C-alpha cells in the first residue's frame, strides 16, 4: 500500500508525519510518498524524509496514493478528484462539516477523522485532540504572560512587593489542565471552572482552586466531553464567572462542545468590568469563542482588555506538535495496516469503527450519524 503525506495549507506550520514517524510506517511494509516541502515549516527537509526511505513527489502524485494523510483535508476541488475507495485520514471535524461528509459519501471515500477517536483508555495513544490541547494550553499561558503588563509570580524586591497575577481557566479539559499547570509553574494564583464534576479533583491536584456552579448536567454518555446545559444553570454560571473574572488579570478560555458553537462564558459587560491591562486568550475562537468579543485569528483590545482569539496555537510549536500528532497517527494506522502492508479494516475494533466516518457510501460512526442525521435514527 502507498501512503501519501500532504503539505498543509498556507498558515499551518505542522505536518502530519515527521521523518521519525514516517520511518515507523515504512517498517510496516508500506511505501511512503511525501509532497515536496511538506515538512519544511516543521523543520523537516525533503532530504530528511528521503534519508529514512520515503520518496518526494508532486501534490498531484501524492493525491493518487492509496491512503492519504494530513492534518487538514484536501481542498474541495481535490476531494472531488479523489478516486472511489481511496482512504483519507486527517482532522475534518465531521460533526460541523456535513457537506464534506456528504461529498465523501458520494465519492465512496473511506474517511477517518482523527478528532473522532473515542475517549477511551485504549485509544489514548491515538488521541490527537488531547495531544494538540496539551500544546495549546501550554502556549496560551506563555502568550498571556508575554502580553500581560504584570508579572505572574510574587516578588519581594527592594522596590517593594509585587503581588502575583490571578489567572482564571475556563474549561478543565486537557488544554485547561495544561494551562493550570503552566500558570502555576510561572507562579500565578490559579482558579478554574468546568461543568464536569469529575474535573474538580484534577484541578485541585494541580494546586488551583475549583470554581463550582451547582446543578450541572454531567452526562456519562458524552464520552468525557462537555454537554449543553440548561438555561437556569447558564444564568448561575454567568453570574459566578463574572464575579471571578472581575478579579482576574488573565483568563484562558478552553470550553468547547463537539459539533456545537462554543458556549459564551465572558460577556462584553464582563470584559468592561475587568481591570485595564487584563488578558483573555480564547482557544475556542474558531467555533465562536467563549468570549463574546473574540475575533478569530485576531488580537484586539476592548475596554483596556487584550483579547487574543487563536484556535491554532499548536501551529506555533510545529516541531513538537507534529511529533505528537505523528505518533498518534502511527498508533492509529497500526490498527488498519495488515502484516503485509495492506489495508485491513477490522470493524470489530471500536476505535476503527468510531473513527471511520464514511466507507463505501455509508456512515460508519454512530456518533456522527446520530448528530448529523438524527431523524434517520429509529
Q: What residues act catalytically?
A: 119, 124, 127, 130, 225
Question: Which residues on neighbouring strands pair with residue 266, listed in sequence order?
Answer: 291
The C-alpha cell 458520494 sits at: 106
The C-alpha cell 470550553 sits at: 255
Q: How far is CA 175 from CA 201, 246, 326, 375, in A?
A: 16, 23, 19, 34
Q: Distance between CA 189 and CA 191 in Å, rounded?
A: 7
Q: Are 370 and 354 in contact (CB under 8 A)?
A: no
Take residue 76 and report the three cell numbers written for it: 474541495
Q: Distance between CA 333 and CA 140 in Å, rounded?
A: 30
Take residue 240 and report the three cell numbers written for it: 459566578
| Phi, psi angle pair for 180, to nearest 5° | -60, -50
Q: Distance between CA 228 and CA 67 in Å, rounded?
A: 36
CA 262, 265, 267, 271 torsion: positive or negative?
negative
User: What's the chain's Rg over C-alpha atoms?
Assistant: 22
Concatenating the DSSP letter of every residue in 339-370 gives: TTS-B---TTSHHHHHHEEEETTEE--HHHHH
The C-alpha cell 503539505 sits at: 7
Q: Distance between CA 309 and CA 363 in Å, rounded?
A: 33
Q: Distance between CA 34 and CA 363 in Å, rounded?
A: 29
Long-range CB pairs of 244-247, under 8 A, 24+ apart, other chains included: 244/168, 244/191, 244/193, 244/211, 245/168, 245/270, 245/273, 245/274, 246/270, 246/273, 246/274, 246/275, 247/166
Q: Distance between CA 114 and CA 245 in Å, rounded?
A: 34
Amino acid at each position: 500500500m502507498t501512503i501519501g503525506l500532504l503539505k498543509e495549507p498556507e498558515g499551518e506550520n505542522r505536518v502530519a508525519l515527521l521523518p521519525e514517524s514516517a520511518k515507523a510506517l515504512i517498517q510496516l511494509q508500506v511505501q511512503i510518498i511525501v509532497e515536496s516541502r511538506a515538512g519544511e515549516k516543521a523543520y523537516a527537509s525533503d532530504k530528511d524524509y528521503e534519508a529514512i526511505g520515503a520518496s518526494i513527489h508532486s501534490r498531484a502524485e501524492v493525491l493518487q496514493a492509496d491512503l492519504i494523510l494530513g492534518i487538514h483535508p484536501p481542498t474541495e476541488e481535490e476531494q472531488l478528484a479523489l478516486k472511489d475507495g481511496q482512504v483519507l485520514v486527517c482532522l475534518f471535524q465531521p460533526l460541523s462539516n456535513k457537506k464534506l461528509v456528504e461529498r465523501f459519501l458520494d465519492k465512496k471515500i473511506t474517511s477517518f477523522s482523527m478528532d473522532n477517536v473515542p475517549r477511551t483508555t485504549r485509544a489514548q495513544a491515538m488521541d490527537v485532540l488531547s495531544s494538540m490541547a496539551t500544546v495549546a494550553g501550554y502556549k496560551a499561558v506563555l502568550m498571556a504572560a508575554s502580553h500581560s503588563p504584570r508579572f505572574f509570580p510574587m516578588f519581594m524586591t527592594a522596590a517593594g512587593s509585587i503581588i502575583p497575577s490571578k489567572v482564571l481557566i475556563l474549561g478543565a479539559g486537557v488544554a485547561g489542565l495544561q494551562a493550570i499547570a503552566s500558570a502555576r509553574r510561572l507562579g500565578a494564583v490559579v482558579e478554574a471552572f468546568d461543568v464536569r464534576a469529575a474535573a474538580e479533583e484534577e484541578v485541585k491536584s494541580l494546586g488551583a482552586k475549583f470554581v463550582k456552579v451547582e446543578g450541572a448536567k454531567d452526562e456519562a454518555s458524552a464520552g468525557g466531553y462537555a454537554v449543553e446545559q440548561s438555561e437556569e444553570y447558564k444564568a448561575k454560571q454567568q453570574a459566578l464567572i463574572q464575579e471571578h473574572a472581575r478579579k482576574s488579570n488573565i483568563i484562558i478560555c478552553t470550553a468547547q462542545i463537539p459539533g456545537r458553537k462554543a458556549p459564551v462564558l465572558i460577556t462584553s459587560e464582563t470584559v468592561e468590568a475587568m481591570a485595564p491591562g487584563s488578558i483573555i486568550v480564547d482557544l475556542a475562537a474558531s467555533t465562536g469563542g467563549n468570549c463574546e468579543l473574540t475575533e478569530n485569528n485576531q488580537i484586539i483590545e476592548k475596554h483596556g482588555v487584550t483579547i487574543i482569539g487563536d484556535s491554532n496555537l499548536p501551529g506555533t510549536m510545529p516541531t513538537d506538535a507534529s511529533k505528537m500528532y505523528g505518533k498518534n497517527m502511527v498508533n492509529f494506522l497500526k490498527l488498519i495496516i495488515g502484516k503485509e502492508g495492506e489495508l485491513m479494516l477490522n470493524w470489530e475494533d471500536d476505535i476503527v469503527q468510531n473513527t471511520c466516518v464514511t466507507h463505501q457510501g455509508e456512515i460508519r460512526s454512530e456518533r456522527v450519524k446520530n448528530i448529523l442525521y438524527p431523524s434517520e435514527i429509529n
